[in-house]
Amino acid sequence: MSETDPVAAFRVEAGEVLEQVEQGLLDLGHRLDDHDLIDAVFRGLHTLKGSGAMFGFDALASFTHHCETAFDRVRKNLTPATPQLIAVILSAQDHMRALIDGDGTERKAEGDAILAKLQAALDGAPAPTPAPAPVEQGWRLSLRLPPEAMQNGINPLTLLDELRTLGDCRVVARTEQVPLLGDLVPTHCMIGWDVELRGAVARADIEDVFIFVMDDMDLQIEQIGPALCDDAHDAAAAPAPFASPSPSASASASLSAPIDDPRPANAQEPAAAPTGRGAPKTGESVRVPAERLDLLMDRVGELVIVQSRLSQLAHSSAADVALHSISEEIERLASELRDTVMVLRMVPVATLFGRFRRLVHDIARDTGKTIELSTDGETTEVDKTVIERLADPLIHLIRNACDHGVEHPEQRLAAGKPVAGHVRLSARQEGGEVVITIRDDGHGIDRDRVRAKAESHGLIQPAQVVSDQELLQMIFHPGFSTAPQITSLSGRGVGMDVVKRTIESLRGTIDVESVLGQGSTVSLRIPLTLAIIDGLLIRVGDGRYVIPLGVVEECIELSLEEDLRSRGRSFITLRDRLVPFVRLREMFVTGTKPSVHQKIVIIATGTERVGLVVDQIIGSHQTVIKPMSPVHCNVPTFAGATILGDGGVALILDVVQLVALGQHQEERLRAVA
């Protein structure tokens, strides 16, 4: 996204506003009388309409105006919030997104149909008890926008015209700060305004007009007494549900529009009360394109590699004390810089979890089920690249939980369960991994049906013995589905294999647990980051390799006698537990003799443990992960490569594949025993 592209910036911010409105609508569906949520939705729609008009999205502003008007009636207790109204506004959001992306104008008929449903939802709502009219009878305003307001796309006349829609409005321009012609900057707004607004208008309505610039402008609001005329009564009349914006609003795009009822420049300025905008801000943020963060991470990775080479040079015998000191200082700074950049890339999983509330809401509506979604651990942070790639797998898993797992209400009642099904989405951090769990309380996975389907696909033989986990993992094979019929949501068997491939490409694992009649749990274990990790550098034969330090539990000695005694068994007893191990020298076919002092590195992912027999443990190493070449990317035991301090290359071991290999070895040994 370019710094000078305001339209691109608007699209990003409009998407965030729509997300906030969507979350507010979904919450409002459970608490229809929550006025704070109603106000939040209204403000979001108001923001979208106003900013859309500022950036030339007239179709968006016009369409959103109707939705805003509907919620304005709800906010003023003229219309109650109903599930039908919320459902229509949710569908209207999809059309708003299309208008923001630029392809909504071709679907005007769809937008008109949504507005017709919106009108029907308002007409069908019961008439609420009339609320008492606001006691405010008038306001004096003194306002001055920041000089760069027009450069940021803010039209002052648009704001003034919006004030005129609230009641009888008289505006006087203040020009005392306008410089001489030679010093005038054409793009700067140097005019202020005094406004007298008469009518039954709430202070919040006035502040809504300046919602975009409230924090940066000088705005003072003072309440005044009742007007001598009866104009306020007329201004309090409720607008029609879909009244079009006033003609003055459309004409306000021209900066030559006149200002009505000017008063003498020396008119007494009212003693106004501040709006509180002078309160200190809690913090500021800067929007940075994701591409720049990626570029910064690449540069930090190169710095880590160069620092490693410098450290190796400094620790050589020929290095002097000064070089050694400088090397240590650069190592400290590089480490701090790496940690800082890693934090910049980390985002909470709440940004991912939030989008699934709408998904579950729509699935429940389409299937006729009652489904509740709860989330836990939203503050858990993951690398943004991981978050982006997790979206599609989680969509597939949640759809399956809602469609295949959760039963229909009558089936749940017959089974003695609550009518509402429950899907729980949680996240937690374990070492260098994040564990995301999708749990439902449905009928669980029928293992007999899974086995029958696997046998019909030729995945297993009729008499073949497989473990429970292997049987459950069958659901991730391409084209595998136990659904009795194909629906619009699932049943074709083309989703779960995509889930498995995506998770494995992230160097993650999938665990499935299920109890028939009680529900299923799918756990995803994903590395926190795919950029830089702490690793354990080892030697096997003449090659060097890196094991992610987050999965290393301990290192133990393997004597020559124990090595000879374990031949043919490939497992050791560690604290009364059998742990299988893999001789990496034999797996990689190094052609070298084993070292006299071999080591076993015990690694673990989840509940599984396996030992890796290596010739030497060199030490810890900051590992910059580089992707494998297209020729080597399909080698299952390696997850990437890194450059060492001496310029050599070390391969990063894929611990998931190694643990799976250890599991198979252990199962073969148990079968023989």
CATH 3.40.50.1820 for domain 532-672, yes or no, is no
pLDDT at residue 253 above 80?
no
- Residue 13: what pLDDT? 82
**pLDDT, tens digit, 9 for 90 and up, residues 351-397:** 888 888 888 888 888 888 989 999 999 888 888 888 888 888 898 89
**pLDDT, tens digit, 9 for 90 and up, residues 338-351:** 778 878 878 888 88
Q: pLDDT band for position 215 (50/70/90)? A: confident
Of the candidates 638, 103, 620, the residue with the CA atom closest to the CA atom of residue 311: 620
* 349-527 CATH: 3.30.565.10
Among the listed ranges 56-70, 190-204, 226-240, 308-322, which one has the minimum average pLDDT value? 226-240
In DSSP terms, 558 is beta-bridged to 598
**Distance (Å, rounded) from C-alpha 548 to C-alpha 620?**
10
Decide whether 6-123 matches 349-527 in CATH topology.
no
Other beta carbons within 10 angstroms of residue 602's beta carbon come to 18
**Distance (Å, rounded) from C-alpha 387 to C-alpha 346?**
9
Would you call 170 helix, strand, or coil by DSSP? Answer: strand
The phi, psi pair for 284, rounded to 5°, reads -125, 155
Residues 581-596 have a mean pLDDT of 83
Hey, what CATH topology would domain 290-347 get?
Helix Hairpins (1.10.287)
- Residue 520: what pLDDT? 92
Q: What is the DSSP string of 532-557?
A: EEEEEEEEETTEEEEEEGGGEEEEEE
**Distance (Å, rounded) from C-alpha 387 to C-alpha 352?**
7
**Distance (Å, rounded) from C-alpha 604 to C-alpha 552?**
7
- Residue 444's identity, in one-letter code, is G
Q: pLDDT band for position 249 (50/70/90)? A: very low
Q: How far is CA 601 from CA 466, 537, 545, 551, in A?
A: 29, 11, 12, 10
- Residue 255: what pLDDT? 32
- Residue 105: what pLDDT? 58
- Residue 162's identity, in one-letter code, is E
Residues 189-214 have a mean pLDDT of 83
**Distance (Å, rounded) from C-alpha 191 to C-alpha 161?**
16
- Nearest-5° Cα angle at 596, 591 to 599: 90
Among the listed ranges 56-70, 115-129, 256-270, which one has the minimum average pLDDT value? 256-270
- Residue 567: what pLDDT? 62
Residues 482-509 have a mean pLDDT of 67
- Residue 421: what pLDDT? 92
Yes or no: say if 404 and 484 are a contact pair by the CB < 8 Å rule.
no
197 or 622, which is more confident:
197
pTM (predicted TM-score):
0.63
Q: What is the DSSP string of 476-488?
A: GSTT----SS--S
The phi, psi pair for 14, rounded to 5°, reads -65, -35
Of the candidates 166, 163, 161, the residue with the CA atom closest to the CA atom of residue 235: 166
Hey, what CATH topology would domain 6-123 get?
Four Helix Bundle (Hemerythrin (Met), subunit A) (1.20.120)
pLDDT at residue 667 above 70?
no
Spans of all domains in the chain:
6-123, 138-258, 290-347, 349-527, 532-672
- Residue 300's identity, in one-letter code, is V
pLDDT at residue 227 above 60?
no
**pLDDT, tens digit, 9 for 90 and up, residues 446-488:** 888 888 888 888 888 888 888 888 888 888 887 776 655 545 5
The phi, psi pair for 390, rounded to 5°, reads -85, -15
Residues 255-261 have a mean pLDDT of 37
Burial class (CB in 10 A: 0-12, 13-18, 19+), 485: exposed
- Residue 241: what pLDDT? 42
**pLDDT, tens digit, 9 for 90 and up, residues 233-245:** 343 344 444 444 4
Which tokens in the block code for residue 144?
């001055």
Yes or no: say if 308 and 327 are a contact pair by the CB < 8 Å rule.
no
587 or 231, which is more confident:
587
**Distance (Å, rounded) from C-alpha 545 to C-alpha 538?**
5
Q: Would strands 509-515 and 519-527 be described as parallel, antiparallel, or unpaired?
A: antiparallel
Q: pLDDT band for position 211 (50/70/90)? A: confident
* 138-258 CATH: 3.30.70
Yes or no: say if 110 and 103 are a contact pair by the CB < 8 Å rule.
no
**pLDDT, tens digit, 9 for 90 and up, residues 140-194:** 999 998 888 887 777 888 888 888 888 888 999 998 888 888 888 888 888 999 9
Yes or no: say if 193 and 171 are a contact pair by the CB < 8 Å rule.
yes
- 617 Cβ partners below 8 Å, 6+ apart? 536, 537, 538, 555, 599, 601
pLDDT at residue 266 above 80?
no
Residues 596-600 have a mean pLDDT of 87
pLDDT at residue 440 above 90?
yes
Q: pLDDT band for position 568 (50/70/90)? A: low
Among the listed ranges 232-236, 530-534, 545-549, 560-564, which one has the minimum average pLDDT value? 232-236
Which residue's structure tokens are 């309090």? 236
In DSSP terms, 440 is beta-bridged to 423, 520
Residues 656-662 have a mean pLDDT of 71
Rounded mean pLDDT of the chain?
78
Yes or no: say if 598 and 563 are a contact pair by the CB < 8 Å rule.
yes
- Nearest-5° Cα angle at 453, 448 to 454: 95
Yes or no: say if 537 and 546 are a contact pair by the CB < 8 Å rule.
yes
**Distance (Å, rounded) from C-alpha 597 to C-alpha 561?**
11
Beta strands in 516-671 (DSSP E): 519-527, 532-540, 543-548, 552-558, 571-573, 578-583, 598-605, 608-614, 616-624, 638-643, 649-653
Which residue's structure tokens are 């020396």? 266
pLDDT at residue 588 above 60?
yes
pLDDT at residue 257 above 80?
no
Residues 241-269 have a mean pLDDT of 38
pLDDT at residue 636 above 80?
no
